Structure 1
């Protein structure tokens, strides 16, 4: 029997570079993290870390020349997330390959895009499941699940300027490390925010280094960059400090050939990944009722 081990190592193709550039507009969060190099490596199906926090409520003034006898370590929670497996199969008949020799490569590219879109959805909306019960699928927790409830802003009707300021102030009050603030919004809420500034302000589109055009709002508490996303729930705006987010791989995206049986060529695009939120205090959700 012809097995996948019959392929050379060169045919086990790593797609980590390709996934960074494919479907950027469909997957703004994943593309942002990849473009900024915010990627870590896991060594097991459960990724664990200590919450990143800063302490500012103590007097650390010292006497000149004194010995250091007091040592401070901030109390930090242990957080974790589950590594989720993403997989798409590819199968092309011998006839199709004979008709168009690059069809298999084209199919792989399409499956990679589909995998990235599914990963994007889970990074935002995922619900944690350790896979211990049927159907035994491990599933990650997404941004919405990680968001600190104390940052939440509830809105009736439509989003207003005060709501944007309020969510930014909530994050500012958390004494976070420096980073850039982004808001993932769907089309409806983006239209509401655009309406706030219609005929009142002029603002320029800023092209970021990962190829997206975003709008930014200046507040007393920092600049909020707005990113349009199809995958955010219709009633929510998800705001985060990017210094606290990382994409974590146990297995980077790759194409793996499968054993040939019959008159077709088979393979799979596969990845195993999760989201690291160094502190839930860095994530806020605005909910519109």
Structure 2
């Protein structure tokens, strides 16, 4: 809960716990990762990590007493993503801040809470479909690569029929992760309303969903395939023509600065501050993301 005595004039206040709990339905991907504790610390404006790929040698059988040992090692490609800064300012007149409105309490604290929700929504948009920009050119704003742009080239599928997804294509998208050898078999699919309506129609008459489960306050339809369970998450920020399937165990949010409030110097009769966060999306392996795109 935001209280006026939490917002001092001399120090920054961490809002890491608050941002996890607010705006869940409009920020399903960020909320999912935060609720699962899939966050980490980074120490640079570019977050770099190594992707592990297991050796795929088909036959490693050897004769009894073999003395010619063949050595193998995991492939470790270097991956990176750019940290993006999200910021929202708050300025309230001294008069407005002194007025106590029934049901609202301190107006400055209320404004900070609203700006934090807006910051999280903007973070959701970037994490979902942001386009990478290192910020080296005008206007020098760094942008992260969103989830939709992280799929391994082998995990990309384009629909066969213009503007229409089929049941076989849904299964084929999930199968891409199974083909890559992912062990969990529990996947999530980020989808916009139009695509979700089409998928619902596929199963309307001949199937019923196996189960419904609650994921941090979100009702998620689960479709069971031979290659794993697909939990569909409705997101207004997902591209209308894409179904993005991913294993959340391979994803995390890396922060240089978690969401926080910091006061700003007052100008005249006002109270000022801002909420700010600086972070990026980490995808431990591109093989853990598959994207289906409707044929245009």
Question: Given the two structures, how large is their TM-score scaled by the length of structure 1?
Answer: 0.92
Verify the 8 A CA contact 2:185 2:227 in the aligned structure 1: no
RMSD in angstroms over aligned alpha carbons?
Answer: 2.0
Is 1:152 aligned to residue 152 of structure 2? no
Aligned to 1:207: 213
Aligned to 2:23: 23
Aligned to 1:238: 244
Q: CA deviation at 1:70?
A: 5.1
| Cα distance in 2, alignment partners of residues 15 and 84 from structure 1 | 17
Give deviations 1:221-254, integer Å, cap 9, x for gaps: 0000000000011111111111211111000000
SS at match of 1:77: strand
Verify the 8 A CA contact 2:10 2:263 in the aligned structure 1: no
Aligned to 2:137: 133
| Cα distance in 2, alignment partners of residues 64 and 45 from structure 1 | 53
Verify the 8 A CA contact 1:82 1:139 in the aligned structure 2: yes
Q: 1:116 aligns with which of 107, 117, 120?
A: 120
Q: Which has the higher strand share?
A: 2
List alignment gaps of at least 5 residues for structure 1: 1-5
**Closer, same or farther: CA 67–275 of 1 in aligned 2, 3 Å:** farther
Verify the 8 A CA contact 1:258 1:267 in the aligned structure 2: yes
Verify the 8 A CA contact 1:16 1:254 in the aligned structure 2: yes
Deviates more, 1:30-39 or 1:149-158: 149-158
Aligned to 1:181: 187
**Closer, same or farther: CA 96–7 of 1 in aligned 2, 3 Å:** closer
**Closer, same or farther: CA 83–179 of 1 in aligned 2, 3 Å:** farther
Aligned to 2:3: none
Aligned to 2:108: 104
Aligned length: 282
Aligned to 2:278: 272
SS at match of 2:53: coil
List alignment gaps of at least 5 residues for structure 2: 1-7
Is 1:84 aligned to residue 84 of structure 2? yes
Q: CA deviation at 1:279?
A: 1.2
Q: 1:251 aligns with which of 253, 257, 274?
A: 257
Give deviations 1:104-129, integer Å, cap 9, x for gaps: 11101110000000000000111111
| Cα distance in 1, alignment partners of residues 200 and 230 from structure 2 | 14
SS at match of 1:76: strand
